[in-house]
Structure 1
């Protein structure tokens, strides 16, 4: 029988351990107690086969190493997230263009968009949709191959829309009455930079956008 000269506990209750690490420690301690008891009470003429126990020890070691690596990776990601947040803070007060058809309407300013058509257009109509998918406003706007549109919440039927996120849909037709593809981007001043679930987000006129949607930054208003 192969003798086990020494066994060092893999875990010592590190305060940084997660639940999985704590459960692994408890299971490993129980495993060692059972192994020690069985070794002490084994029949000298029929010693136990240690290959299975050795294999389990290796598995415990691999799991423990994986937990430690995961913890280290989380620390690294948290550090990178903090660095990204610090760098993104330079965007505050600058105008952003976003790959999004949604824009925020608030008492601080109108919802704003920009558009670019593939070719000249003859007619252009705008449809504004709220967060529930309800059409709240439809109007014709000056047809142009490129332009901007700001909506202060005013409704054709009277009254004003409440603050929130609104999506713009454009229907563009050329001189032949054919549909013209239009690319829409929301725009606005960056008022807040934050992290949510490890990702940097930009606060623009009351709405939150992933920094991944950012396509352009310009100084001033």
Structure 2
């Protein structure tokens, strides 16, 4: 009876069941190795180097499993630490290129028109992508309050709206850029793509996409 060495791939990507069964597997290995020694052919005994290779192989696999467990534990701890740090963001306003929740109150925008522009047009669309308004705004790079109205000046119904800015020079369109908005952060939570922030209205953004914070507690 020969115990085949485990492959390196098996060591690199053990399943959760394999990780949890490492101690029992090690005991099983020792029993199998003992049985192998007891039942080997006396006229053709197992070479001592083969014994050493099998023992070293299993020891290496077990060590790799423990290393993987340690790395997973550290990853979980780092994730918890990151969320703990982001807890201080809750209640503050994040500046991010994302839709904003409109419910009758003014929305603070950060338009940032092109440097050579002589005209800037704010374009507002609803959650379905339909055009809601186009309006000229001042050529300023700092924050400005948008009233939350349509092209007729009537208040918009509550909902999520997205913003872009068209920059013109001598009547020619220079570029169209997403407009960053300021929105309160209501929650921070982990996600498959990284830490997510939940803004007012349930709008979710990646924490890595936030370019500034202001106000809050």
TM-score relative to the length of structure 1: 0.70
Structure 1 residues 44 and 83, CA, compared in 2 at 3 Å: closer, same or farther?
A: same
Separation in 1, partners of 2:162, 2:48: 67
Runs of 4+ in 1 over 6 A off after TM superposition: none
In the TM superposition, residue 151 of structure 1 has moved relative to its aligned partner by 6.5
Tell me how far apart the structure 1 counterparts of residues 60 and 146 of structure 2 sit (CA, whole Å). Answer: 58
Q: Does 1:123 align with 2:145?
A: no
Give the equivalent residue in structure 2 for 1:6: none
CA distance in 1 between counterparts of 2:62 and 2:140 reads: 60
SS at 2:211 equivalent: strand
Alignment of 1:55-134 (within 5 A): 55-98=53-96, 100=97, 102-105=98-101, 107=103, 112-129=108-125, 134=129
User: Which residue of 151, 159, 163 maps to 1:168?
Assistant: 163
- 1:13-55, CA deviations, whole angstroms, 9 ceiling, x for partnerless residues? xxxx932314555655554443322211222222122433432
Aligned length: 200
- Distance in 1 separating the partners of 2:127 and 2:50: 59
Residue number in structure 2 paired with 1:150: 146
Contact map agreement 2:114 2:174 (CA 8 A) in 1: no
Q: TM-score scaled by structure 2?
A: 0.71
Which aligned pairs between 1:27-38 and structure 2 lie closer than 5 A? 28-38=26-36
Structure 1 residue runs of 5 or longer lacking an equivalent are: 1-16
Q: Which runs of 5+ in 2 are unaligned?
A: 1-14
Which position in structure 2 is the counterpart of 1:140?
Answer: 135
1:184 and 2:179 are equivalent in the alignment = yes
Are the equivalent residues in 2 in contact too, given 1:97–1:214 (CA < 8 A)? yes
